[in-house]
């Protein structure tokens, strides 16, 4: 999570949406960089609302929230590839030896196994009953729009490095698994469709 106090902007770190690269590019410009623990770095709106918003409100800072959402199948592909890495081998969260289709099928289940338990983007940005919501929602695929917005808002130039890139893998889905994903995870597709 990146906090830009003077610009009254908080960039939420939705996992697997390139936020590590933005942290690297904008860390020196940010008033606050929350990089650890992961539960705070990747704080969804409900956690932001509970822990960070009250702190900012006390010092007179009504903040706007920015988040990036990735096309859901591509987002799952990033998780699948990330969990192929050697340091996870033998752990319940590893996807080694498994097809992407099997990973997505498991993700679309009600009770997900550890390797497919990666949360959901729609839940991450779900507005709170008190009105706290994302003001600026960008598609991951619209990097030029996101960079343009941030450069104007923060009055800076952004040189975006490539960070935390997972190895390439076959990300083929069977028509049945894709249909199941679109049905069971409809909220994630709706949120992505609604983003800039």
- Give the count of beta carbons closer than 10 Å to the beta carbon of residue 176: 10
CATH of domain 2-194: 3.40.50
| Buried residues in 31-60 as b, exposed as e (16+ CB within 10 A) | eebbeeeeeebbbbbebbbeebbeebeeee
Predicted TM-score (pTM) of this structure:
0.93
The predicted pLDDT at position 170 comes to: 85
Residue 17 structure tokens: 């949406």
Per residue in 25-53, pLDDT (tens digit) is 999 999 999 999 999 999 999 999 999 99
Give the start-end residues of each E strand in 59-178.
64-69, 134-139
Query: Is residue 166 predicted with pLDDT exceeding 80?
Result: no
Q: At what angle do helices 186-194 and 72-82 cross, to 10 degrees?
A: 110
């Amino acid at each position: 999570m990146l906090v830009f106090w003077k610009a009254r902007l908080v960039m939420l770190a939705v996992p697997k949406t390139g936020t590590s690269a933005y942290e690297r590019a904008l860390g020196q410009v940010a008033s606050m960089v929350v990089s650890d623990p992961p539960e705070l770095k990747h704080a969804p709106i409900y956690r932001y609302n509970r822990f960070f918003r009250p702190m900012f409100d006390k010092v007179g800072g009504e903040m706007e929230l920015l988040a990036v959402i990735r096309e859901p199948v591509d987002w799952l592909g990033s998780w699948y590839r990330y969990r192929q890495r050697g340091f996870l081998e033998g752990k319940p969260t590893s996807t080694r030896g498994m097809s992407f289709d099997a990973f997505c099928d498991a993700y679309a289940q009600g009770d997900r196994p550890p390797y497919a338990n990666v949360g959901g983007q729609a839940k991450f940005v779900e507005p709170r009953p008190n009105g706290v919501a994302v003001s600026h929602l960008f598609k991951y695929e619209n990097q030029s729009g996101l960079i343009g917005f941030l450069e104007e808002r923060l009055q800076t130039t952004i040189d975006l490095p490539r960070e935390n890139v997972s190895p390439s893998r076959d990300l083929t889905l069977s028509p049945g698994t894709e249909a199941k994903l679109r049905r069971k995870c409809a909220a994630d597709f709706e949120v992505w469709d609604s983003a800039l």
